[in-house]
Amino acid sequence: MSSKYVYFFGKGKAEGGASMKNLLGGKGANLAEMTSIGLPVPPGFTISTEVCTYYYSNNDTYPQSLKSEVESHLKDVEKLMERTFGDPKNPLLVSVRSGARASMPGMMDTILNLGLNDATVQGIIAQSGDERFAYDAYRRFVQMYADVVMGMDKHSLEHLLEMKKAERGAQLDTDLTAADWKELVAEFKKSIKEHLGTEFPEDPHAQLWGAVGAVFGSWMNQRAITYRKLNNIPADWGTAVNVQSMVFGNMGDDCATGVAFTRDPSTGENCFYGEYLVNAQGEDVVAGIRTPQPINLHQKLPGDLPAMEEVLPECYQQLAAIRTTLEKHYKDMQDIEFTIEKGKLFMLQTRNGKRTASAAIKVAVDMVREGLIDQKTAVLRVAPSQLDQLLHPSLDPKAVKNIIAKGLPASPGAASGTVIFTADEAEAAAKTGNKVILVRIETSPEDIHGMHAAQGILTARGGMTSHAAVVARGMGKCCVAGCGDIKVDYVGEKFVARNGQIVKKGDIITLDGSTGEVMLGQVATVTPEMTGDFGTLMGWVDSFRTMKVRTNADTPHDSKVAREFGAEGIGLCRTEHMFFDADRIAAVREMILSENLEGRLKALAKILPMQKGDFLGIFREMKGLPVTIRLLDPPLHEFLPQENKDIETLAKSLGVSTQQLRHKVEFLHEFNPMLGHRGCRLGLTYPEIYDMQVQAIMEAACELVKNEGYSIVPEIMIPLIATVSELKVLRANAVKVCDEVIARYGVKIEYLIGTMIELPRAALTADEIATEAEFFSFGTNDLTQTTFGLSRDDAGKFLPFYVESNLLPEDPFVSLDQGGVGKLVKMACELGRAARPHIKLGICGEHGGDPESVIFCHNVGLDYVSCSPFRVPIARLAAAHAALGGGTDTTK
Amino acid sequence: MSSKYVYFFGKGKAEGGASMKNLLGGKGANLAEMTSIGLPVPPGFTISTEVCTYYYSNNDTYPQSLKSEVESHLKDVEKLMERTFGDPKNPLLVSVRSGARASMPGMMDTILNLGLNDATVQGIIAQSGDERFAYDAYRRFVQMYADVVMGMDKHSLEHLLEMKKAERGAQLDTDLTAADWKELVAEFKKSIKEHLGTEFPEDPHAQLWGAVGAVFGSWMNQRAITYRKLNNIPADWGTAVNVQSMVFGNMGDDCATGVAFTRDPSTGENCFYGEYLVNAQGEDVVAGIRTPQPINLHQKLPGDLPAMEEVLPECYQQLAAIRTTLEKHYKDMQDIEFTIEKGKLFMLQTRNGKRTASAAIKVAVDMVREGLIDQKTAVLRVAPSQLDQLLHPSLDPKAVKNIIAKGLPASPGAASGTVIFTADEAEAAAKTGNKVILVRIETSPEDIHGMHAAQGILTARGGMTSHAAVVARGMGKCCVAGCGDIKVDYVGEKFVARNGQIVKKGDIITLDGSTGEVMLGQVATVTPEMTGDFGTLMGWVDSFRTMKVRTNADTPHDSKVAREFGAEGIGLCRTEHMFFDADRIAAVREMILSENLEGRLKALAKILPMQKGDFLGIFREMKGLPVTIRLLDPPLHEFLPQENKDIETLAKSLGVSTQQLRHKVEFLHEFNPMLGHRGCRLGLTYPEIYDMQVQAIMEAACELVKNEGYSIVPEIMIPLIATVSELKVLRANAVKVCDEVIARYGVKIEYLIGTMIELPRAALTADEIATEAEFFSFGTNDLTQTTFGLSRDDAGKFLPFYVESNLLPEDPFVSLDQGGVGKLVKMACELGRAARPHIKLGICGEHGGDPESVIFCHNVGLDYVSCSPFRVPIARLAAAHAALGGGTDTTK
């Protein structure tokens, strides 16, 4: 700890600077910086964060030297301002603001006009020549101070104000006179004495120390503690306190106050963008009582009030020059606050401005062109999670929304359509050109064709990685899942939403998959443009990242979309989705219902050419890029109907008795299908299924190599391995089939056989498993389920509560749980590499598209991540951030 | 490797000994040992296991010096026997036997009469004076050699023998004459030449090397490889070859052969026990064609043929003396083989005898009394897994069984009763004094009262740790689970077993829970006596073990049973079983169906006094021993009926609409209840439930401390923790309730709060969790489910296949998977202790009663294991074995 606690800034000189955020907080550091580069900043000083730390380590006391340091710097301010703190003739007033390293709502924000009392108010009257202004400022100060520093109940003083207005027959505060405000100040002080038993401090120095103590005290209030916890901000960072001489934007028509961005935060366009109010204080802009005016003509629309460029042209030119200075200095788009007091401009704040995704891209690319920043910096300026906004249509922000329910934002984008409750009807309606929203209690693989046909999907049950959510994200289709607000009545063909609102089949609703909102009627959507800057930036992204990005795709169409988004291969091609196609499911069911090997082989022979066709299509689309194909994973009962009616229909079509079919369905029933007879367990008990799939893969590959000159190295992935013994057997089976096919075609082709690591046991024994696996692909969806003992499909009932209550920092199905699941992944990487140094490592869970998880994957040294086609650009950018040491994605 | 490969034994001198099993195999080592201590062993030599290893490391060749060593020792044998190998006048015949360290079925066993050819057979005729004997021996040798050494198809030669018998009109082999045998030898050789294209070797030395090669070759045959794999025997142990001069028990009525145990292997009684046959070879005893006779009068029953003691009294006395010598020498009960050739006794084998559990105990305790062994040795002589036999009734081995189905041996013991299909009817029938067997497709917690009432439980579905299996074992009740052979028809009140056998309600069946067999009708059972020796042994057991043994018990009754079995506390008291009692379930359901906190609190207030009563009972029964109580664990839907009929009934009784109740049941439905809204997730979303339970626990404890002078330290266990954040909240809640109760009673009482470690994430972050937990109890059932991604209730469809196919060495729900789940347990112990050095560690999964798992628990340093009451003695013994360094339970 240094022995210096207070840092002065004023008139071109400052003891601090922008690099001292840890010590001075964001606000204090930038005030000092602006002062140093010659901008007009009202002078003041910052009490450092070390004092806060000292305060809490020493029973709420200050370091001994603090008092004299503050007094000395207060004198410096008085000198520069040519006013004196507490001087009845020519008083100095100050503001006191908190300022932590990171912006922290929940802490004390601001006390203005500090230094006013019955004596100094006279000096303000003299300075301003405006008694009403002076008493208004005085009463505002008393109100603010009583509330924030003294802990007085807000409502008592507001009540007095209302009484006064009633007494005077006044509608607005502005209807009150100087005398009224003066009376109110006295009444406020009396009420404070009555309620708190203490006098309102008249001594400006007592006021100052009271305010400083209140800032430090607010660091440990409940709201601040909760906010820090939620945002992982350590308590020992502490806050700084900024004491700054007051300037007034409300002393007349040559006064103003405003906020501005150095570029358009919505589009990123390189033009000055801001709002201001004449004769107003900062809080008036925020309160929204008066309509702010544009700062310049560029922005001004017909009907707008005059721009600052017109009203205060000199000040505007000065501000425009400052804008350029700031951008050159900070090399980023700035968000600024300013005040004009009697024609004189003062800067009160600057910080990096928040922006939309497209603005972020445009600003970054423009600044490279302008020579302000380099490409690396540009890449790091765009938050990967932001890109999501650019990849889906979204609701027109200006549209009116009648929200009738809210669920989980399961798959981004927005869509409107008529409500339909079954997949078949959805498909039929879509064929006739209708846009539909498929509404289900939950979806199952049998609904896939309906989901394809629909504009969006709404489910009453299921979490962020429920079937509906995962499939919808894979399709890039908007989905609101786990919407407990709605009660679906299939029989009545309707659902009941909030407040008993009934929505029938055929009614139009709109979904916002980015917020989880369900709206009645059609709400307009907008499709963000994907400008050339986006492509430019992604080019730089790819030049910096070292980790590959693949996609999860099961069809030639998805493969194509993913390639367009920059996918460098397929990390997960699920073969079972292909089984659900209407023209195949019959053969699949025939296979499942066969009582013997012969029957199964017969049915599999029908499926073989279809699977082969799938792989031909996908291999062609991927043009030689690596493709990892997972063999059959889900339990067989997923392919059979569960409802009596459907069982009857199927039995008839298959020519078996309903009872026989029902027995089979019952026999295949599982209590916990997630932990059941699936994955490699099927491959071991019914080796003929995997044999058929491997044959289809290899025949497709060999054909393309032989006849079309492709160069393909198929990656065959065996799911749900728990022990090396399973993989050993299945690998041997697969090798046998592969070698047989290769010999038959007489081509030279290599292939890899590997496994998903999706069970804790596989991760724990990855060294053993690596002896039989040429690659690992971390199936972090299932790995999260088993590591947490948490079913994705059932977690909707308590996982939101967990996240809200901060029991979990985030939904672990969305962002990889690094402390638990990640520990297993890391362990498996290390064990796997120890046994097979060049083993290929990747991830194919939903986490492959989550920026923080992608950074984790880079850090543990994975060769690639694989994600939904629509998240490929996000993963690419996150991988670049990771490679550039960009750390965690703090923008989320 | 030594340069000596062959070890001679004969006439009181041997180069080997019992301690050289690794080098000479079990048989060879003991032949040498018996020779050394002066017993009459036909001389011979052992080719060491090192030759086997050499053979396989050197392309099936022998060490150079082997040939000369064998020839030299063969000469020694010739000298002692005064016969010469291959001498037509006075030939030496030998046997060649394999002999590995561990007995290995699947390897070549024996070739007898080696050295016979057309010339030497004449010498045998001369020696024996019995031409028929000689040619019979010759043809046996040719048959055996052709089969085992030359690889000739058995049936060809057997066919020739059958033809010969048909030709001669003979019924039995004994009807054939010397001439017939002679002809057959020639026909055999001809057939061999025809089939194999090679001559049968006439040269005795060629015969010998052929046999030696065949023994080594059999070490790598498929059956031997499989057996080794199944029993974890390393391939590089190799086998030895024993070459021994032949003695004949079939040369006339002064010849005999027999097997004996030095004590009764069934009861352990200290009396000589064995069987013999006059004029027979060893294989005749095994083949079971002739009825063996008792060796002594002690054993002889009315109607038995004469005892050896009567027929060959001198030989018997000699054998009885040898018995004493062997027991004094080996200090264990021996299993011996002997042959008497023309009135002269020869010992062919000795080894430690297999015995029943009660015999093992009696022999061990008797031998301590006799001064043969010490207490430690006695404890190590009894295999923990054997004790299971002593703790349940079993089928009378003499009873006739009509087996109609076979399932999993889910809970040991045997029981008969009338078939009943519902729990209610089972309870009703039991109340009127009927013995019933409850037959269900599967059981659920609602069936508990019926399971209690039944003698045994039979289910069509579910694995070794399905609900039925776990509960039945807990109750010490016999259960056959997952019996796929039966098809249960609830509506028709019947089930169909193998071969279409229909069993109706009211029919009597018998279950053997130790074998999984289901029998039609009543089969007599026997209750093994628990003799005083058992108590004596368990006293020694307790003096050696260092790890405590607790029990899993939910009722005062179970607690009492467990205390009688030596439990030192309760490691797992499940509170939910109490919820199912008929007089409580109504209040429980009321609580679940309440739509708000107020309603739940009202219902919980009804449950509180009942739960308190439970704990009072259990605490009293446990008399101050530690009791770990787990708060509510299962998902709430387990407490609601699932069938439409039951829902209707319940709705009526609760006065709610059927539809309302059905909605609630549907709402609570889970896809994967194992991974659902259960355990601490309930405690977090409905804190009032845990609050009530903690209150009940603490009030019960405080009352006993205050009014009855007990000293109790309740251990409150929070289930299904995945993150420390969960435990932090729940711990704080529990502490609040505890401290409130303690203050109210004004007593001094301590309590512990800890958690189950039953999810991989908990194990992986055990260091964090230990900061909030005073103890860990490893819930290895669920930990196995999640680590493997394997549902206990669904695994029945493929887990048996896994174990049969050697994909898993054992059912991981029966014996802890040390490589995977055990790795997590070990990690959690280390992390937990690092964060809290004196953290109490225990296990409460089913594994706590499995000997190998208990030894693992000792080795990772757990403070206790907890298991079903009926397995407490097994766990105590296993813990003693572990403390004595007894290693794994190889007897399993």
Both structure tokens of A152: 């007085």
| Shortest alpha-carbon distance between residue A512 and chain B (Å) | 25
Q: Contacts of residue B791 in chain A, CB cutoff 8 Å?
A: 670-672, 674-676
Helix (H) or strand (E) holding A846: none
CA distance A372 to A387: 23
Most B CBs within 10 Å: which of A726, A764, A827, as the mutation test of the B interface? Answer: A764
CA distance B604 to B690: 10
A432 or A857: which carries more pLDDT confidence? A857
B389 or A79: which carries more pLDDT confidence? A79
Tokens 């083993």 correspond to A839
| Shortest alpha-carbon distance between residue B574 and chain A (Å) | 20
For chain A positions 669-728, those within 8 Å of chain B (CB to CB) are: 670-677, 681, 684-685, 720, 722-723, 725-726
Q: Please report which confidence band the pLDDT of residue B891 belongs to, taking 50, 70 and 90 as the band edges.
A: very low
For chain A positions 750-769, those within 8 Å of chain B (CB to CB) are: 758-761, 764-765, 768
Q: Which residues pair with B478 in a beta bridge?
A: B456
pLDDT digits (tens, 9 = 90+) for A862-879: 999 999 988 999 999 999
By CB atoms closer than 10 A (0-12, 13-18, 19+), residue B8 is buried
> Rounded to 5 degrees, what angle do the CA atoms B209, B214, B217 make?
125
Q: What is the per-residue DSSP string for B782-807?
A: HHHHHHHT--TTTGGGTHHHHHHTTS
- Do A807 and B723 count as a contact with CB atoms less than 8 A apart? yes
Residue A649 is predicted with a pLDDT of 87
Residue A448 is predicted with a pLDDT of 80
- Do B789 and A681 count as a contact with CB atoms less than 8 A apart? no
CA distance A208 to A518: 50
CA distance A546 to A568: 12
Residue A891 is predicted with a pLDDT of 32
Q: Is the pLDDT of residue A739 over 60?
A: yes
Query: Residue range A624-634: average pLDDT?
Result: 96
Both structure tokens of A783: 């790995």
Single out the catalytic residue among A467, A847, A858, A881.
Answer: A467
Query: Residue range B364-386: average pLDDT?
Result: 95
CA distance B192 to B200: 7
Q: Is the pLDDT of residue B888 over 60?
A: no
Please name which of A352, A355, A324 lies closest in space to residue A336, comparing C-alpha atoms: A352
Residue A288 is predicted with a pLDDT of 56
- Helix/strand/coil (H/E/C) assignment for every residue in B212-249: HHHHHHHCCCHHHHHHHHHCCCCHHHCEEEEEEECCCC
Q: Is the pLDDT of residue A461 over 70?
A: yes
User: Mean pLDDT of all residues in chain A?
Assistant: 91
Residue B841 is predicted with a pLDDT of 98
Q: Contacts of residue B681 in chain A, CB cutoff 8 Å?
A: 798
CA distance A21 to A265: 24
Both structure tokens of A649: 């229909």
Residue of B nearest to A789 (CA): B675
CB of A41 closer than 8 Å to CB of A80: no
| Cβ neighbour number for residue A515 with a 10 Å cutoff | 18
By CB atoms closer than 10 A (0-12, 13-18, 19+), residue A269 is middle
Q: Please report which confidence band the pLDDT of residue B354 belongs to, taking 50, 70 and 90 as the band edges.
A: confident
CA distance A854 to A872: 11
Please name which of B61, B43, B44 lies closest in space to residue B52, comparing C-alpha atoms: B61
| Cβ neighbour number for residue B97 with a 10 Å cutoff | 27
- Residues counted in chain A: 892
CB of A101 closer than 8 Å to CB of A237: yes
Residue B700 is predicted with a pLDDT of 97
Residue B806 is predicted with a pLDDT of 83
Residue A890 is predicted with a pLDDT of 35
| Phi, psi of B875, rounded to the nearest 5 degrees | -65, -40
Both structure tokens of A220: 């440990």
Percentage of chain A modeled with pLDDT above 90? 71
Q: Contacts of residue A818 in chain B, CB cutoff 8 Å?
A: none
Q: The pTM is what?
A: 0.82
Q: Please report which confidence band the pLDDT of residue A819 belongs to, taking 50, 70 and 90 as the band edges.
A: very high
Q: Is the pLDDT of residue A11 over 60?
A: yes
Query: Residue range A56-79: average pLDDT?
Result: 95
Residue of B nearest to A804 (CA): B685
Q: Contacts of residue A677 in chain B, CB cutoff 8 Å?
A: 794, 797-798
- Residues counted in chain B: 892
Q: Please report which confidence band the pLDDT of residue A519 belongs to, taking 50, 70 and 90 as the band edges.
A: very high
CB of B629 closer than 8 Å to CB of B715: yes
CA distance B455 to B474: 14
Q: Contacts of residue A720 in chain B, CB cutoff 8 Å?
A: 789
CB of B643 closer than 8 Å to CB of B671: no
Residue B531 is predicted with a pLDDT of 62
Q: In angstroms, how far is the first alpha carbon of chain A from the final one? A: 33
Answer yes or no: B844 catalytic: yes
Q: Does B491 touch chain A (CB under 8 A)?
A: no
Query: Residue range A27-47: average pLDDT?
Result: 97
Tokens 């038993």 correspond to A197
| Shortest alpha-carbon distance between residue B845 and chain A (Å) | 16
Residue of A nearest to B729 (CA): A807
CB of A832 closer than 8 Å to CB of A771: no
- Do B791 and A820 count as a contact with CB atoms less than 8 A apart? no
Single out the catalytic residue among A844, A847, A858, A881.
Answer: A844
Helix (H) or strand (E) holding B257: strand B256-261
Strand order in the sheet with A273-278: A293-294, A273-278, A256-261, A334-341, A344-352
Q: Does A232 touch chain B (CB under 8 A)?
A: no
**Strand-pair category, A408-411 with A414-420:** unpaired
Q: Does B729 touch chain A (CB under 8 A)?
A: yes
Residue of A nearest to B820 (CA): A761
Most A CBs within 10 Å: which of B595, B730, B786, B823, as the mutation test of the A interface? Answer: B786
Please name which of B52, B64, B103 lies closest in space to residue B236, comparing C-alpha atoms: B52
Q: Is the pLDDT of residue B887 over 60?
A: no
Strands (E), A318-401: 334-341, 344-352, 394-395
Both structure tokens of B507: 């029919």
For chain B positions 822-881, those within 8 Å of chain A (CB to CB) are: 823-824
Both structure tokens of B197: 């294209």
Residue A597 is predicted with a pLDDT of 92
Q: Is the pLDDT of residue A418 over 60?
A: yes
Q: Is the pLDDT of residue B1 over 70?
A: no
Selecting from A671, A759, A797 the residue whose C-beta is nearest the C-beta of B789 gives A759
Query: Residue range A525-544: average pLDDT?
Result: 84
- Do A759 and B787 count as a contact with CB atoms less than 8 A apart? yes
CA distance A357 to A267: 9
Strands (E), B353-504: 394-395, 403-406, 408-411, 414-420, 436-440, 456-459, 478-481, 487-489, 494-496, 502-504
Residue B890 is predicted with a pLDDT of 35
pLDDT digits (tens, 9 = 90+) for A341-373: 999 999 999 999 888 788 899 999 999 999 999
| Cβ neighbour number for residue A344 with a 10 Å cutoff | 13
Residue A892 is predicted with a pLDDT of 32
- Do A674 and B676 count as a contact with CB atoms less than 8 A apart? no
Residue A311 is predicted with a pLDDT of 93
CB of B265 closer than 8 Å to CB of B253: no
Torsion of CA B441, B443, B444, B448, to 10 degrees: 150
Residues whose CB is less than 8 angstroms from the CB of residue B393 and which lie 6 or more positions away in sequence, other chains included:
B413, B414, B415, B478, B525, B526, B527, B528
Most confident of A89-103, A421-435, A714-728, B468-482: A714-728
Percentage of chain A modeled with pLDDT above 70? 97
CA distance A289 to A274: 17
Single out the catalytic residue among B255, B829, B844, B857.
Answer: B844
**Contact pairs from chain A to chain B, CB under 8 Å:** 164
Query: Residue range A786-808: average pLDDT?
Result: 89
Tokens 């000096």 correspond to A123
Both structure tokens of A394: 């979204």
Predicted ipTM of the assembly: 0.81
pLDDT digits (tens, 9 = 90+) for B802-824: 988 889 988 999 999 999 999 99
Percentage of chain B modeled with pLDDT above 70? 97
> Rounded to 5 degrees, what angle do the CA atoms B300, B306, B307 make?
60
Single out the catalytic residue among B467, B637, B847, B881.
Answer: B467
Q: Please report which confidence band the pLDDT of residue B529 belongs to, taking 50, 70 and 90 as the band edges.
A: low
Residue A300 is predicted with a pLDDT of 84
Q: What is the per-residue DSSP string for A512-569?
A: ETTTTEEEES---EE-----HHHHHHHHHHHHH--SEEEEE--SHHHHHHHHHTT--S
CA distance B602 to B188: 91
A226 or A287: which carries more pLDDT confidence? A226
Mean pLDDT lowest for which of A219-233, A643-657, A843-857, B444-458?
A219-233
| Region at A746 (left for phi over 0; alpha for psi -120 to 50; beta for the rest) | left
- Do B670 and A760 count as a contact with CB atoms less than 8 A apart? no
By CB atoms closer than 10 A (0-12, 13-18, 19+), residue B857 is buried
CB of B876 closer than 8 Å to CB of B549: yes
Most B CBs within 10 Å: which of A681, A758, A813, A826, as the mutation test of the B interface? Answer: A681
Answer yes or no: A298 catalytic: no
Query: How large is the greatest C-alpha to C-alpha distance in chain B, in angstroms?
Result: 106
Query: Residue range A499-507: average pLDDT?
Result: 93
- Do A673 and B672 count as a contact with CB atoms less than 8 A apart? yes
Selecting from A764, A789, A801 the residue whose C-beta is nearest the C-beta of B675 gives A789
R_g of chain B, CA atoms, integer Å = 33
Query: Residue range A450-473: average pLDDT?
Result: 84
Q: What is the per-residue DSSP string for A711-779?
A: ----EEEE----SHHHHHHHHHHHHHHHHHHHHHHT-----EEEEEE-SHHHHHTHHHHHTT-SEEEE-
Q: Please report which confidence band the pLDDT of residue A125 belongs to, taking 50, 70 and 90 as the band edges.
A: very high
Q: Please report which confidence band the pLDDT of residue A582 belongs to, taking 50, 70 and 90 as the band edges.
A: confident
Residue A357 is predicted with a pLDDT of 83
Selecting from B725, B729, B789 the residue whose C-beta is nearest the C-beta of A675 gives B789
A267 or B748: which carries more pLDDT confidence? B748
Please name which of A335, A315, A106 lies closest in space to residue A224, comparing C-alpha atoms: A106
Q: Please report which confidence band the pLDDT of residue A538 belongs to, taking 50, 70 and 90 as the band edges.
A: very high
| Shortest alpha-carbon distance between residue B805 and chain A (Å) | 10
Selecting from B675, B798, B801 the residue whose C-beta is nearest the C-beta of A674 gives B675
Query: Coil, strand or helix: which one is A447?
Result: helix
Query: Coil, strand or helix: which one is A488?
Result: strand
Q: Contacts of residue B684 in chain A, CB cutoff 8 Å?
A: 798, 801-802, 805, 807
CB of A861 closer than 8 Å to CB of A883: no
| Shortest alpha-carbon distance between residue A35 and chain B (Å) | 46
Q: Is the pLDDT of residue B180 over 80?
A: yes
Q: Contacts of residue B782 in chain A, CB cutoff 8 Å?
A: 789
